[in-house]
Amino acid sequence: MKKLFVLPALLLMGGVLQAQNYQDVLRYSRYSVEGTARSAAMGGAFGALGGDLSTLSTNPAGIGVFRKSEINFTSLLDVSHIKSGGTSGSAIMYYIGNLGIVYSPYTPDSDWKGVNFGFNYTNLSPYKHSLKQFVGNESSDYSLTSIWAYQAGDSESEDLDPYTTGPAYDAFLINRDSSGFYNPIFWEGPVERINQQKNIREEGYMGECAMTIGTNYKDELYLGVTIGLQRTFHELKSSYSEIGEANAPSGFDWFDYYEYQRIEGNGVNLKFGAIYRPIPQLRLGASIHTPTWYNMTFEYESGIDAHFNTTDVNLGRDRTSYSTLSPLEPYDFKMRTPWRAILSIAGVLGRKAIISMDYEYVDYPSARFTDNSFGDSYRYENDAIKATYTGGHNVRFGAEYRVNSAFSLRGGYSLQHSPYKEKGFSFTYDIPKGDKLQTVSGGFGLNFGNYYVDAAYTYRFSKDKTVFYSNDGWFLNEFNEVTNELIQAKDIANKYNEHQARLTFGLRF
């Protein structure tokens, strides 16, 4: 039997999603290829080109390139697919990709060509997933009840967490021994043979309204600034189950652990950018984005259904089934996403071809949770962010070839490197790392003078490994020796792919 020291849980992946954790930061800091069909077809590499509404959210100096006023609309069809541990799930979404307008009073006879104004809405990162993960009937050293027993430590029963350890204790999945510490229902050696599975359904979006002002000096230097107003929503429903063997020695039959999480909020950021054209064939771009400062509202609820083969009078278990439900109380918190910087270069070969590239740095470790209505310091969550993430290096490539004045072909590629460090927290545990995100794209454009139509297809893919639960902690063994032990489920390999079709309609005036 093991007694557990009480230590804060710095790492808890996949099993318990209560409150904020370092994974929330990544959800609101990693964008997909966004914007118009032309930009998406060219891999989003528009930082040095400008003249496209998508640049209002990447390099605001791009607004200075416009010589005519313009309005456009992009519709988007998204089909996502996840393969996880031998199972798979798909989702289909249709939504607005972007909608915007630029007003350009271009004055060709002046050194300063005028001041352009623009407004654009962009859907930065939509998501809708349905996923089932499964670990078969194998002997394991731990179950989720091991995590709950570790977290409970030697707390009094009335002081247990109302969302995790409290419901687990009320459902007899953890029990308190004579020394005052808690033990999981499987507490002697390896746990009994159990099936572990999890069903997840989530959906949400992150959109930005970009309000931009910019100017043009001698058609050589372009400057711009954007105020970005972001809105985000995320809803997750999950059910984690452990199913025991027949006539298990512990009397355990099965339990379901339910979670519901909803986060929504508003944020604001600033973006500054410049584009310089030293010669007509070359354009250089640079932009910097401040963090987005979010005010969030969070709701969370959990519940447990536990079933046993027998009662146990020694534990006080007088029936074979128990159901518990946590309170549902929304509260507010604040979050600061990472700052980012972009350097860009593009070559314009006459009126026939364009080649462009963007490099983006994202300082993921600088993200922070700062406050909530209960005054929590978020020290452990912020320590986890710094321990888990490293700076992100992203590159985007794009090309366009004008077949004639009315028809253009486009292609692109983008790569977002993994933001995870090689090592995780202290002790010896390697965090299951997310792989790089890659996107290949292509499309075409039809130009009819005062109006145009663009189409694009993008294919995005990635893979990673996750676990149902994991917690690294210190234990006091039966010999009164302090030892370090990792409580972790088996790794599950995941593969993600996403297909997007975009169609943009634009009008110049």
In this prediction, residues 140-154 reach a mean pLDDT of 82
Instruction: Say yes or no to pLDDT of 475 above 80.
Output: no
- What tokens were used for 84? 């996880």
pLDDT over 90 percentage in the chain: 52
Q: According to the model, what pLDDT value does residue 373 have?
A: 54
| Range name among 22-26, 357-361, 431-435 with the lowest pLDDT average | 431-435
For residues 438 and 395, what is the distance between their CA atoms, to the nearest angstrom? 10
User: Pick the residue with more confidence: 135 or 223?
Assistant: 223
Q: Could you list the residue range(s) of the whole structural domain that residue 489 is in?
A: 3-508
Picking from 20-34, 212-226, 236-250, which range would have the lowest pLDDT averaged per residue?
20-34
Q: What's the mean pLDDT in 327-345?
A: 91
* pLDDT score recorded for residue 104: 96
Contacts of 93 (CB under 8 A, 6+ apart): 77, 78, 79, 80, 126, 128
Mean pLDDT score of the chain: 85
The larger pLDDT score, comparing residue 481 to residue 275, is at 275
Percent of all residues in the chain with a pLDDT value above 70, rounded to a whole number:
86
Predicted local distance difference test score (pLDDT) of residue 6: 26
Phi, psi torsion values for 62, nearest 5 degrees: -60, -20
% helix / strand / coil in the chain, to the nearest 5? Answer: 10, 55, 35
| DSSP code string of 198-232 | EEEEEEEEEEEEEEEEEEEETTTEEEEEEEEEEEE
**How crowded is the C-beta side of 138, counted as CA atoms within 13 Å?**
10
Q: Report the residue count for the chain.
A: 509
CATH code at 426?
A: 2.40.160.60
The arithmetic mean of pLDDT across residues 298-318, rounded, is 89
Position 180 scores a pLDDT of 85
Task: Write down the pTM of the prediction.
Answer: 0.84
Which stretch of 338-347, 382-391, 409-418, 435-444 has the lowest confidence by average pLDDT? 382-391
Q: For position 477, what pLDDT does the model report? A: 47
pLDDT confidence of residue 5: 27
| Local confidence band at 76 (pLDDT 50, 70, 90 cut-offs) | very high
The pLDDT of residue 275 is above 90: yes
Tokens of 208: 């930005």
**What number of CA atoms fall less than 13 Å from residue 97's CA on the CB side?**
29
Q: Angle at CA 363, nearest 5°, toward 361 and 367? A: 150
Helix ranges restricted to H, 65-175: 144-152, 165-170
Q: Which residue has the higher pLDDT, 422 or 130?
A: 130
In this prediction, residue 22 carries a pLDDT of 66
Report the pLDDT averaged over residues 443-452.
95
User: pLDDT (tens digit, 9 = 90+) per residue, 345-381?
Assistant: 999 998 899 999 999 999 999 999 887 555 557 877 8
- The pair of structure tokens assigned to 398 is 């794009």
Average of pLDDT values for 129-158? 79
Say what the pLDDT of residue 356 is: 97
Q: What is the pLDDT of residue 67?
A: 95
Predicted local distance difference test score (pLDDT) of residue 14: 39
At 494, the pLDDT band (50, 70, 90 cuts) reads: confident
Reported confidence tier of residue 191, pLDDT bands at 50, 70, 90: low
- Contact between 209 and 121 under an 8 Å Cβ cutoff? The reply is yes
pLDDT of residue 25: 78
Residue 1 has pLDDT above 50, yes or no: no
Instruction: Encode pLDDT of 163-172 as tens digits.
Output: 999 999 999 9
For residue 483, the number of C-alpha atoms closer than 13 Å in the C-beta half-sphere is: 11
- Our count of domains for the chain comes to 1
C-beta of residue 471 within 8 angstroms of C-beta of residue 487: yes
How does pLDDT run across 35-54, given as a tens digit for each residue? 899 999 999 999 999 999 99
Most confident of 64-78, 90-104, 126-140: 64-78
Q: 481 or 448: whose pLDDT is higher?
A: 448
On the question of pLDDT at 145 being above 60, the answer is yes
pLDDT of residue 294: 94
Q: How far is the C-alpha of 46 from the C-alpha of 224, rounded, in Å? A: 14
Look at residue 26 and give its three-state secondary structure.
Answer: helix
Q: How confident is the model at residue 20 (pLDDT cuts 50, 70, 90)?
A: low
Tokens of 446: 């039809």
Model confidence band, residue 30 (pLDDT cutoffs 50, 70, 90): confident
Confidence of residue 441 (pLDDT cuts 50, 70, 90): very high
User: What pLDDT score does 140 carry?
Assistant: 59
pLDDT, mean of residues 245-269: 89
State residue 276 phi and psi, 5-degree precision: -125, 135
Q: What is the Cβ-side half-sphere exposure of residue 207, based on CA atoms within 13 angstroms?
A: 13
pLDDT of residue 136: 66
